[in-house]
Amino acid sequence: MNYEIVELAEKIVAGKAAVTSNSSPDMQEKIGNLWQTFGAEAGKIADRTNKKAIGLYCDYGTPAAEDYTVLIGCQVENKNSNPGFVQKIIPAGRYAKFVLSGDVVSDVCKAWNEIWNTPLDRSFAADFEEYQEDCDGKKGTIHIYISLK
């Protein structure tokens, strides 16, 4: 899968979060529930910078624990402008950027399977999916960013 190396500025993301792992039997259910909650509450998030949705993976645990935080939300202008929502920082830095267009579930899953098999010097600071404004909840353009050392 093709990608390009990009430099990103820091982003503040507000939304709903949960802790899970790829080996957790309810991982997909947890993430799906977060997307449903975000869809119902997205209009309550103040200070949005755009209409894009973000699926953020951060706070990675030890390799033995395999846990991480997943936050479904959107980019906001100011930290602490959204009480009641979890806020996380996507750090500035180098990222591998993958671009795909298609089904927001099956094509994103396929892309992640390919990304996991791509030799990248990952930092595990923050990885995220950015669903572009053409996404309608079923199909659209998705950018996946993988943080690099």
Mean pLDDT computed over every residue of the chain: 93
More confident residue, 144 or 27: 144
**What proportion of the chain, given as a percentage, has pLDDT over 70?**
97
Tell me what pLDDT residue 86 has: 95
Lowest mean pLDDT among 8-17, 20-29, 43-52, 117-126: 20-29
Closest CA to 97 of 21, 17, 2: 2
Q: In this structure, is the dihedral angle defined by the CA atoms of residues 119, 99, 130 and 78, taken in order, positive or negative?
A: positive
What are the residue ranges of helices labelled H in 70-146? 106-116
Q: How many angstroms from the chain centroid is the CA of residue 44?
A: 19
Residue 65: pLDDT over 80: no
| Predicted structure pTM score | 0.94
Average pLDDT over residues 46-60: 95
Asked if 55 and 70 count as a contact pair (C-beta separation under 8 A), the reply is yes
